[in-house]
Amino acid sequence: MTGLKLLLHQYRYDQKTFWREPAAVFFTVALPLIFLFLFVSIFGNQPVDLGDHTVKGATYYIPGIITLALLSASTVNLAISLTTLRERGVLKRVRGTPLPPWVFMAGRIMTASAVAVFLVVVVTLIGRLVYGVELPGRTLPGVALTVLVGTASMCCLGFAMTAIIPSENAAPAVTNAIVLPLYFISGIFIPTDQIPEAMQTVAGVFPVKHVFDAMLYAFDPSSPGPGIRGGDLLVLAAWGVVGLVVATRTFRWTARNA
């Protein structure tokens, strides 16, 4: 009861902090939208070959940009902001108060998830209104489940990544060095039909491709039933568990450079 009250208290202030940070808002919220307009403008709405059938260009890019937005709001945002808070002594300070550590963690995850859901809705609406992408109706469970499992797993990985980031300055570089190549080989920026098989196999080991594949499946009007790709979601959940284990064992509340 008090734990929940504390969590809402923490969440309220985390939200305020997030939306007032111009750099975080730009990279997390504005950049995915800019990419969306760029990609559709460059590649037009030409169909993308998915092997057995094709989809409209925008139908391909909307789930791609959603994946990008989801990762920005969760993994990238958490890895950078938590490292910054750690190196500036804010985490240590919080650790010295009666606030239970799990409440602090949960507050960050709630903030990241709220931003991720917000972006999913915004990108989906832009897709519908500007590019005429079909709104997922029957396949809505697929979208919702992918957002849920994807965000949870990607948040855990964000926490885990702070272990390998030595300093505040290194945070954006390390984080981007990991996610940017994954965006490319997972088909977020370049349609899958133009990516060599071997690269796709490599991408299949990492979680980004599975977020994207599950999301694309849920947005593809030709997908049957509720649009759920169980296999991808399982891989994602497994990555989430790995992230959680690494995070609980390695997470530091005190600065590396102290």
Partner 1 sequence: MNAVIAVRGLHKSYGTVEAVRGVDLEVAEGEVFAFLGPNGAGKTTTVEILEGYRERTGGEVTVLGLDPAKATTAWRARIGIVLQTCDLQPMLTVRESVSLYAGYYPHPRPVDEAIELVGLSADVDKRAGKLSGGQQRRLDVALALVGDPDLLFLDEPTTGFDPAARRDAWDMIANLRRLGKTVFLTTHYLDEAQALADRVAIIKDGRIVAEGRPNELGGRQTAGTTIRFRLGPGTAPGQLPPSLAPRVTEAGDRLELVTDTAVDDLAVLCGWAVERGVDLGPLEAIRPSLEDVYLELTDSQ
Binding site for partner 1 (CB under 8 A): 6, 9-10, 13, 16-17, 20-21, 88-90, 92-93, 95-100, 254
Residue 122 CB, nearest approach to partner 1 (Å) = 22
Q: How many other C-beta atoms lie within 10 A of the C-beta of residue 213?
A: 24
In the complex, least distance from residue 114 CB atom to partner 1, rounded to whole angstroms: 17
Strand partners, 54: 49
180's enclosing H/E stretch is: helix 170-185
Write down the least CB distance from residue 1 to partner 1, Å.
13
Number of H helices, E strands in the chain: 12, 2
Q: How far apart are CA 163 and CA 83, in angstroms?
A: 9
Q: Kindly report the number of other CB atoms within 10 A of residue 153's CB atom.
A: 26
**Least separation in angstroms between CB 249 and partner 1:** 17
With respect to partner 1, which residue has the nearer C-beta, 98 or 225? 98
Encoded amino acid at 210, one letter: H
Rounded to the nearest whole angstrom, what is the least distance from the CB of residue 151 to partner 1 in the complex? Answer: 23
Reading phi first (left if > 0) and then psi (alpha if -120 to 50, else beta), residue 187 is in left
Q: Which two tokens stand for residue 217?
A: 């499946």
Greatest Cα pair distance, the chain, in angstroms, is 58
Three-state secondary structure call for residue 253: coil
* Shortest distance in whole angstroms from residue 157 CB to partner 1: 24
Please give the distance of CA 100 from its chain centroid, rounded to a whole number: 26
- In the bound state with partner 1, the residue whose beta carbon lies nearer, of 17 and 46, is 17
Q: How far is the CB of 87 from partner 1 (least distance, A)?
A: 9
Closer CB to partner 1, residue 17 or residue 201? 17
Query: In the complex with partner 1, which residue's Cβ is closer, 20 or 53?
Result: 20
With residues binned 3-state (H G I as helix, E B as strand, rest as coil), the percentages for the chain, rounded to 5, are 75, 0, 20
Q: What is the DSSP letter of 98?
A: S
Nearer to partner 1, 46 or 250 (CB): 250
Give the three-class secondary structure for 49: strand
